[in-house]
Amino acid sequence: MTTLVLPAAKDVREMLVGLLGKPVSVNPGAPVTPGEERPVSVAVYVDPHLAVNALCVMDLPLSAWTGGALAMLPPGGVQDAVEEDGELTAMLTEALHEVVNVLSALFNVPGAPHSKLYKLYAPGDDLPADLVEMAAAFNRIDLAVDVPGYGKGALSLVIPSGGVTA
């Protein structure tokens, strides 16, 4: 059995276009890491033994844009949640959960251990210290994503070195 491989930006774009039904653009971007001044969502993926084997870290705007686009919510209301409230509504969080669940398929390639979504930490949720540390790992792909009609945001996919049980 081989280890996980980071997906290419093209694969991320194709997955998001298929899921959201919009011509999403994906380009190289800056790393997304958890911090007090930058709320993020963190999706934790595990292997069959419940060892964390990948993370998907999205900034608050992209968390809202992808959830809003999937749920076909009006962009204005989604933008208000980000700009005025600084957090996701329950409906946006539920839609984001589905987005990151589908994104687990990016890691499920022949020869790699099966990855499944274990938990989603929404922006503002307390993250365990080990996940904060993993989110800063160097084995990653950092992307700038534009969801037409909603806006731009950032996404990082991270494969931590070593295993930590979720």
Please give the structure tokens belonging to residue 77: 């209301």
Instruction: Note the pLDDT of residue 3.
Output: 72
pLDDT of residue 164: 36
The verdict on residue 164 lying in a domain is no
- Please check whether residue 163 lies inside any domain of the structure: no
Among 32, 51, 45, 56, smallest CA distance to 136 is for 32
Q: Is the confidence at residue 2, as pLDDT, over 60?
A: no
CA neighbor of 147 nearest in space, from 57, 49, 64, 29: 64
Query: Is residue 162's pLDDT more than 70?
Result: no
CATH (domain of 68): 3.40.1550.10
Residue 100 inside a domain? The answer is yes
Place of tokens 């989604």: 78
Residue 4 located in a structural domain: no
Q: What is the mean pLDDT of residues 94-109?
A: 96
Is there a contact between 2 and 112 (Cβ–Cβ < 8 Å)?
A: yes
What does 67-122 look like in DSSP terms, one character per residue?
HHHHTT--HHHHHHIIIIISS--HHHHHHHHHHHHHHGGGG--TTSPP-EEEEEE-
Say what the pLDDT of residue 63 is. 97
Q: How many domains does the chain have?
A: 1
CA distances from residue 133 to 31, 34, 48, 60 in whole angstroms, order as listed: 13, 9, 22, 19
Residue 79 forms part of a structural domain? yes
- Assigned domain for 165 exists: no
Whose tokens are 């963190």? That residue is 42
Is residue 3 assigned to a domain? no
| Least confident segment among 5-9, 107-111, 160-164 | 160-164
Q: Dump pLDDT digits (tens) for 8-25.
A: 999 999 999 999 999 999
Q: Please give the mean pLDDT across all residues of the chain.
A: 91
Q: Which domain holds residue 130?
A: 9-158
Question: pLDDT over 90 for what percent of the chain?
Answer: 77
30-81 pLDDT, tens per residue?
Answer: 999 998 788 999 999 999 999 999 999 999 999 999 999 999 999 999 998 8
